[in-house]
């Protein structure tokens, strides 16, 4: 493992390296979006090039598709593939039930569609993403641009009737302009601090006119792979209820594509 990596990046890398062990020859694989998922895409590309693994990939964002093609992966649309064997993605938070908050990278809609169209979802994370209760990370909500201020007001009004500790909904910006998702939509980040009932919140959010999707991924994740900077990983399987600890064996000279820009 390259010594120049920060402890967080080493943790992300070993989680990604272990997660691709779930990918078998001939599989259809969903590729997540974000810094941790980028490590996974690079690692999978290395295995495809060096070991001849044959996989077909569906990307959850334009930037993931570009990175995947750059490292030699075959990328097709979900319309072409229809159903996936596994999706591997990162997360912004996960709780003890492996419920997630995702969307910090702005790809939550495609990420949720791809994850739901998979037989299995594997989440890769460093330990900082683990929380006792969701909500410290702002919850992204994708909304249509038309009437967005009305949608924002409706969301803030709704939040006064649910069990959360914060109630502000801020428009995500990209410099001086509003951030746009790959669908051309806007994103509101809800600063809630603590979500007492994620299932209720997800349901009521998606009933508000103008809301496309929210970043609560509930009962979707099957396995979380938690990486540590010392090269160890923890695997939590929500279906079997097992927790396993392993070490990822790496060569000192491992080249993890430091020349490739995320």
| pLDDT tens for each residue of 180-218 | 999 999 999 999 999 999 999 999 999 999 999 999 999
Query: In terms of domains, do 65 and 167 share one?
Result: no
112-141 pLDDT, tens digit per residue, is: 999 999 999 999 999 999 999 999 999 999
Q: Give me the mean pLDDT over the 84-100 stretch.
A: 98
Query: In terms of domains, do 20 and 77 share one?
Result: yes
Query: In terms of domains, do 13 and 115 share one?
Result: yes
Query: In terms of domains, do 29 and 107 share one?
Result: yes
Residue 260 pLDDT > 70? no
Residue 250 pLDDT > 80? no
**Structural domains counted in the chain:** 2
- Give the active site residue among 4, 24, 79, 111: 111
Query: In terms of domains, do 116 and 72 share one?
Result: yes
pLDDT, position 262: 41
pLDDT, position 3: 54
Query: In terms of domains, do 83 and 145 share one?
Result: no
Cα 91 to Cα 227: distance, rounded to the nearest angstrom: 13
Query: In terms of domains, do 209 and 224 share one?
Result: no
pLDDT, position 251: 56
> Has residue 92 been placed in a domain?
yes
Residue-number span of the structural domain to which 156 is assigned: 139-214
Which residue's structure tokens are 């419920």?
Answer: 99
Query: In terms of domains, do 181 and 155 share one?
Result: yes
Helix or strand holding residue 188 (H, E): strand 186-191
Indicate the average pLDDT of the chain.
94
- Going by the DSSP 8-state scheme, the letter that residue 22 receives in this structure is G
pLDDT, position 5: 84
For residues 233 and 226, the answer to whether their CB atoms sit within 8 Å is: yes
Residue 252 pLDDT > 60? no
For residues 250 and 14, the answer to whether their CB atoms sit within 8 Å is: yes
pLDDT, position 254: 56
Query: In terms of domains, do 78 and 119 share one?
Result: yes
pLDDT, position 4: 78
Residue 261 pLDDT > 50? no
> Has residue 201 been placed in a domain?
yes
Cα 171 to Cα 189: distance, rounded to the nearest angstrom: 6
* % residues pLDDT > 90 (the chain): 92
Residue 258 pLDDT > 50? no
Cα 144 to Cα 178: distance, rounded to the nearest angstrom: 12
Structure tokens at 14: 């070993």
> Residue 186: which of 174, 197, 194, 195 has the closest Cα?
174
Whether 111 sits among the annotated catalytic residues: the reply is yes
């Amino acid at each position: 493992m390259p010594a120049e990596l920060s402890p967080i990046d080493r943790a992300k890398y070993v989680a990604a390296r272990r997660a691709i062990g779930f990918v078998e020859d001939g599989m259809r694989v969903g590729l997540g979006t974000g810094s941790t998922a980028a490590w996974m895409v690079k690692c999978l590309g290395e295995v495809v090039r060096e070991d001849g693994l044959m996989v077909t990939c569906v990307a959850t964002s334009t930037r993931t598709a570009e990175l995947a093609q750059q490292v030699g992966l075959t990328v097709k649309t979900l319309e072409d593939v229809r159903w996936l064997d596994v999706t591997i993605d990162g997360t912004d938070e996960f709780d003890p039930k492996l419920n997630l908050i995702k969307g910090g990278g702005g790809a939550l809609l495609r990420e949720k569609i791809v994850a739901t169209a998979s037989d299995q979802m594997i989440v890769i994370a460093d330990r900082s993403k683990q929380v006792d209760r969701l909500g410290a990370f702002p919850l992204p909500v994708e909304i249509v641009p038309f009437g967005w201020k009305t949608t924002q007001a409706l969301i803030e009004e709704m939040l006064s009737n649910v069990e959360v500790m914060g109630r502000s909904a801020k428009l995500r910006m990209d410099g001086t302009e509003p951030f746009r998702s790959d669908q051309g939509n806007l994103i509101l980040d809800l600063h809630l601090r603590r979500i007492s009932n994620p299932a209720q919140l997800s349901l009521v959010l998606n009933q508000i006119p103008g809301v496309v999707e929210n970043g609560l991924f509930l009962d979707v994740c099957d396995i979380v792979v938690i990486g540590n900077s010392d090269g160890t990983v923890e695997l939590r399987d929500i279906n079997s209820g097992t927790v396993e600890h392993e070490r990822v064996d790496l060569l000192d000279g491992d080249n993890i594509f430091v020349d490739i820009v995320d």
